[in-house]
Structure 1
Amino acid sequence: MHFKSIVRELRDMRDSIGNSSRRRAEGKHTNRRGRSHIAPEGSPSSSALFQQQSQWANMPPELLLDIIQRVEAAEASWPARRDVVSCGSVCRSWRDITKEIVKTPEQCGCLTFPISLKQPGPRESQIQCFIKRERATSTFRLYLGLSPALSGDASKLLLAARKIRRATSTEFVISLLGDDFSRATNAYVGKLKSNFLGTKFTIYDSQPPHDPAVQSNCQSNGRLHSKQGSTRSPSGNYNVATISYELNVLRTRGPRRMHCTMHWIPISAIQEGGTAPTPMTFAKCQKDQFPQSADPKGKNPLIEFSSNSLAETPESIQDTRNPLVLKNKAPRWHEQLQCWCLNFKGRVTVASVKNFQLVAAVEPCQNVSVAEQEKVILQFGKIGKDIFTMDYRYPLSAFQAFAICLSSFDTKPACE
């Protein structure tokens, strides 16, 4: 049987299982993941029994490994890469082998599973995406692809965000789904929050940072408790980055000047032999698993990571690190065009104050090569009405890059 026929049959099997599961759910939205996501670990027992009894569940491991390796090598881009996800959705044995075969974006340059959006991009190339803005609904959608004109229906939705204006700040709620921005579901992945002037933004991740100290605290908490049902309480918000825009007091002409401090990416990540934090699974250390104590100001709940009054808090861990700081790449003044210019290599076609390129801000004592200092880690720019390109690379993840770009959409009269 041809491999594409095998994958097509697997996909039909997965859809039939999903339809029967949804009918049994009686209208309850217990699984909000899209077709592109890997099957959840905790599936209904009847579906699991059906999967285990299927003709594909008991295949020899050697043959199964060969099949999935061939599928993964042949389908390198979306929407064809959906076949790789289909292989991981058959049953537990298929899922385990698929996870072993599929590499991280840093290793293969491909986005496959939802966790790929939290993993660093490739080192030697950029993952090219574009953002569509819907002004009527204040929604921003991140797609994988060159542009809407070139990708068309093949564009893969990665993340979506909705802008929420408050009295003293602005928030962008980021979700895996384009129509679900509730913080009480598994689709919620984080948020971006600004200060009153729109000059400082904080990126919050729904998952705890990929740090051994924090992970051990999460696992050793003696006051864990579980809740029934797939819909969970809102995730914890973990401060992973801070974005600061410089005030333009003199109203001088030029692009916005910004600095991004990546609290959980050390400067050693871009040094020779360095590595960036790479989560392999979504952590189960959630906000609803920890007791909360009131903030002295009565505003935000404080998450307790340990039953021993926190010997080491996230803030103290941050202080012991030397975090990676990103800054604007300095533009040059073009005499003929009479404007500031950056080389986007054809990826940006419309002049805008929102356009930027970010490079690492390093000190001579940090032993970072000149080549690494000149690499554009993230670039963002306008190509049409409400259409923007976003290209990122190691050590940023798609989630972090998207959140940084969202900060450019907020109004900043004091910085322009």
Structure 2
Amino acid sequence: MMKLGLKSRSRRVVQDSSMAVENKSESEEKCSYFRWASLPPELLREVLMKLEESESKWPARKHVVACAGVCKSWREVMKEVVKTPEASGMITFPISVKQPGPRESLMQCFIRRNRSNQTYYLFMGLSQALADDGKFLLSARKCRRPTRTDYMISLHADDTSKGSETYVGKLRSNFLGTKFVVFDALPPHSGAKMAKSWSTRMVGSKQISPKPPAGNYTVAHISYELNGLGSRCPRRMHCVIDAIPVSAIKPGGIASTQTYLPLTSIDSSPALPFFRLHSNSIEKSLPGSVSNHADTPLILRNKAPRWHEQLQCWCLNFHGRVTVASVKNFQLVASPENGVAGPEHEKVILQFGKVGKDVFTMDYRYPLSAFQAFAICLSSFDTKIACE
């Protein structure tokens, strides 16, 4: 009896000592956390600013992201220090893929296609070379339906399901592959309305949790027109960007910039206040006032190619970014339908072209975001039964 009692007591001592070790490690971790979090804000901001300035490109820029993950105070300071792609020409945080690209230059990216699993991967180019590894940004998986095709877009390379926390939107085509709609999982601007779908109808019923899933907010409409010559002539594209007003391409024009990207699952409620207008007039975005998004949507069209007599083909100047002739290649510029005249109509906003068997370049600029540009380019991969 005494032996059993001693053994049981020894076990309790061992257990108590292990718990003490765990508690000690937890307390040390908390002390370390508070030690980093309690740095003076002025000193912390100066240090992080120097780090941000010293790392102008990837992969060294991964240290900027690592600092943002130390604690909440570091993250808030780093979010203030790091500029948007519009100002810096760099993509740092996941929210950057939803923000407009640079105004004065094209953001150079490329898309890799995996034919075996019908998946497309978007990378940001790290150098001028067309064959570099790049920084992963987005992925899209092609899902065929009886009457349509969906491209599910995600921040994760492998998980593209709508119920995933990394789901950001989708592209949907009609049966003929001539008309497409781009949907954002969260409202792209103030006053955006959720498109009616099966998921939104289910939210209104009592069959599921009252918390709404990630919604479908219309971002753009894309259409391909019959060119009359089939595959011998370039496709004709027409894009209506509902999320961007036509005033955005005018001198001094602005487009909404999302500053918060809550990663929501199918069971969570999407947060709404995550947009920002780069304007001095805050009242423009208040309820009941006239917003820029009441303006006419921006319309883009493909730049007309010219016929090259010597090469006997249609040509566009991609400035060395496209090396393989393909009916998928295109350049989008502002359409005359916008009612805005001037050099902005000749400025290429998005260009897409083939450089290898399954590699394509994608270059975009303000006011398009990487997500919007990627979705538009995905429409070029779909089979156009009525146009070819």
TM range (shorter): 0.7 to 0.9
- Contact 2:162–2:266 under 8 Å retained in 1: no
In structure 1, the residue matched to 2:144 is: 165
CA contact (8 A) 1:249 1:414 kept: no
Change (3 A) 1:95 1:252: closer
Q: Is the 8 A contact 1:356 1:380 kept in 2?
A: yes
Match of 2:382 in 1: 410
Mapped pair 1:141 → 2:121: yes
Report the 3-state secondary structure (helix = DSSP H, G, I; strand = E; otherwise coil) of the residue aligned with 1:399: helix
Q: Does 1:371 align with 2:351?
A: no
Residue 236 of structure 1 pairs with residue 185 of structure 2: no
Shift of 1:414: 1.5
* Residue equivalent to 1:64: 44
- Whole-Å separation in 2 of the counterparts to 1:329 and 1:250: 17
Alignment of 1:344-363 (within 5 A): 344-363=318-337
Measured in 1, the distance between the counterparts of 2:31 and 2:304 equals 56
Name the counterpart of 1:297. Answer: none
Would you say the 8 A contact 1:207–1:286 is kept in 2? no
Q: Unaligned stretches of 5+ in structure 1?
A: 1-45, 216-222, 291-311
- Tell whether 2:307 aligns with 1:333: yes
**Is contact 2:151–2:172 with CA below 8 Å preserved after alignment?**
yes
Whether contact under 8 Å (1:327, 1:361) holds in the other structure is yes
Identity in percent: 60
Judged with a 3 Å threshold, the aligned counterparts in structure 2 of structure 1 residues 391 and 83 are, in CA distance, closer, same or farther, namely same
Assess if the C-alpha contact under 8 Å between 1:142 and 1:158 holds in 2. Answer: yes
Q: Distance in 2 between matches of 1:385 and 1:94?
A: 43
Q: Secondary structure at the residue paired with 1:239?
A: strand
The 1:192–1:48 alpha-carbon spacing in structure 2 relative to 1, beyond 3 Å, is farther
Structure-2 change in CA distance of 1:101 and 1:319 (3 Å): closer
In structure 2, the CA distance between the partners of 1:263 and 1:55, relative to structure 1 (3 Å rule), is: same
Shift, 1:60, TM fit: 1.4
Q: Provide the secondary structure at the position in 1 that maps to 2:232.
A: coil
Contact map agreement 1:181 1:187 (CA 8 A) in 2: yes
**C-alpha distance in 1, partners of 2:299/2:337?**
10
Indicate the residue corresponding to 1:76 in structure 2: 56
Question: 1:8 — aligned with what?
Answer: none
Tell me how far apart the structure 2 counterparts of residues 285 and 133 of structure 1 sit (CA, whole Å).
27
Larger radius of gyration: 2
Tell me: CA distance 1:382–1:150, structure 2 relative to 1, closer, same or farther (3 Å): closer
Q: Comparing 78-87 with 337-346, which one deviates more in the overlay?
A: 78-87
Once residues 260 and 85 of structure 1 are traced to their aligned partners in structure 2, the CA distance between those partners, rounded to angstroms, is 34
2:108 equivalent in structure 1: 128
Deviation at 1:79, TM superposition (A): 1.1
Give per-residue Cα distances to partners, 1:286-323, cap 9 Å, x unaligned.
97678xxxxxxxxxxxxxxxxxxxxx9xxxx9994300
Q: CA deviation at 1:195?
A: 0.4
1:182 to 158, 161, 186: 161
Moved more, 112-121 or 77-86: 77-86
| Equivalent residue letter for 2:107 | I
Query: What's the offset of the Cα at 1:118?
Result: 0.2
1:301-320 aligned at under 5 Å gives the runs 320=294
Question: CA separation in 2, counterparts of 1:83 and 1:361?
Answer: 41
Range 76-85 or range 390-399, more displaced = 76-85
Aligned residues: CA RMSD: 3.0
Equivalenced residues, count: 331
Q: Which residue of 2 aligns with 1:200?
A: 179
> SS where residue 98 of structure 1 aligns?
helix
With the length of structure 1 as denominator, give the TM-score of the two structures. 0.73
Structure 2 CA distance for aligned equivalents of residues 148 and 367 of structure 1: 33
Query: Could you say which residue in structure 1 is the equivalent of 2:21?
Result: none
CA contact (8 A) 2:181 2:222 kept: yes
Q: How does 1:11-50 map to 2 (within 5 A)?
A: 50=30
Answer yes or no: is the 8 Å Cα contact 1:236–1:286 preserved in 2: no
Residues 390 and 252 of structure 1: CA distance in aligned 2, closer, same or farther (over 3 Å): closer
Question: Is the Cα contact below 8 Å between 2:212 and 2:268 reproduced in 1?
Answer: no
Cα shift at 1:77: 1.1
> CA separation of 1:146/1:70 partners in 2, compared to 1, >3 Å: closer, same or farther?
closer
2:4 — aligned with what?
Answer: none
1:253 Cα deviation from its structure 2 partner: 3.3
Counterpart among 362, 366, 370 of residue 390 in structure 1: 362
Task: Rate the CA distance shift 1:335–1:146 in 2: closer, same or farther, 3 A.
Answer: farther
Structure 1 Cα separation of the partners of residues 64 and 310 of structure 2: 50
Deviations 1:328-383 (A, max 9, x none): 1010000000000000000000000000000000348x344x22111100000000
Q: Quick one: structure 1 residues 356 and 150, their matched pair in 2 at CA, closer, same or farther if it must change by over 3 Å? A: closer
Q: Deviations over 1:232-255 (max 9, x none)?
A: 974111111000000245648310
8 Å CA contact 1:52, 1:91 repeated in 2? no
CA distance in 2, matches of 1:233, 1:61: 38
Structure 1 residue 91: deviation in Å? Answer: 0.6
Change (3 A) 1:213 1:323: closer
What is the rounded CA distance, in whole Å, between the counterparts of 1:150 and 1:201 in structure 2?
29
Task: Check 1:321–1:149 CA distance in 2 against 1; reply closer, same or farther (3 A cut).
Answer: closer
